[in-house]
Amino acid sequence: MLVLAIGDVIGRPGRQAVAKLLPGIIEQYEVDLVVANAENTAGGIGVTSATAQELLNAGVNVLTSGNHIWAEKEIIPHLDGEMPLLRPLNYPPGVPGRGYLVAGQAMVVNVIGRTFMGNFDCPFRTMDRLLGELESKPSVIIVDFHAEATSEKVALGRYLDGRVSAVLGTHTHVGTTDAQLLPRGTAYVTDIGMTGPIDSIIGDDIEAVTRRFLTMIPHRLSVGKGKVLFSAVLIRVDEASGRALSIERVSREVG
């Protein structure tokens, strides 16, 4: 099985890049499953049903998210609907939505980190419970770990090595160079990187972000403009064992 995981999609530029490039990438690599982090698709923060649908129409099968999933209230009713959109599994009980779903021959899980992020349930123990409680689950398990601290991401990757097919970091928008196969067969990368404007500060307008740092006055940021970098990783997984066979970066510029 070939799984393509797309990093945080930023606003309209990111959505347009996915729509333009994804069909060709799916055809080129014969991709079986596409996962994309969608929590920044609506103006750079949050996701709406319309922006989510754009990604689904482009060929994405499962949408993951993170701490910005609640930024657009319009999306909340859809979290318990038919749309294949996840919120982090380790939110407290009773929160709308779900943290995992089965898509074809694979299960996609979304968890959020705690270091510099917030008071969430432990992602390590949450994954233990999920993997222990599900009596019947696919061999292929893809985890989007939406976290800030690189140490926490590496730790979860090592903790789940051999129990899931891939642990893929999102949230920081800066792609890392450590895509690798861990010793027991789990594909890992600390951060996939963003699918958003290159001339920006992690996707947002440079002047606006710089002004915030200089003045410390909060204000809404706008999405950057210009060329877009499409950032993703492609994971080949043995369907019988669930072990990852390879992981490689897929990067494209859109002018």
Residues 192-234 pLDDT 10s: 999 999 999 999 999 999 999 999 998 889 999 999 999 999 9
Q: What is the average pLDDT across 36-52? A: 97
Q: For residue 87, give its domain range.
A: 2-254
Give me the number of domains the chain comprises: 1
- Contact assessment for residue 212 and residue 200, using Cβ atoms and an 8 Å cutoff: no
pLDDT for the residue 120: 97
Catalytic residue among 68, 146, 171, 173: 68
| CA-based nearest residue to 199, from 227, 238, 222 | 227
Where does the pLDDT of residue 135 fall: very low under 50, low under 70, confident under 90, or very high at 90 and above? confident
Q: Specify the pairing of strand 228-237 against strand 2-6.
A: antiparallel
Task: Give the separation between CA 188 and CA 107, rounded to whole angstroms.
Answer: 16
- Contact assessment for residue 100 and residue 62, using Cβ atoms and an 8 Å cutoff: no
- Contact assessment for residue 18 and residue 58, using Cβ atoms and an 8 Å cutoff: yes
| CA-based nearest residue to 36, from 103, 105, 127 | 103
In the residue annotation, 146 being an active-site residue is answered as no
Residues 91-101 pLDDT 10s: 999 999 999 99
Q: Average per-residue pLDDT in the chain?
A: 97
* Residue 114: CATH number of its domain: 3.60.21.10
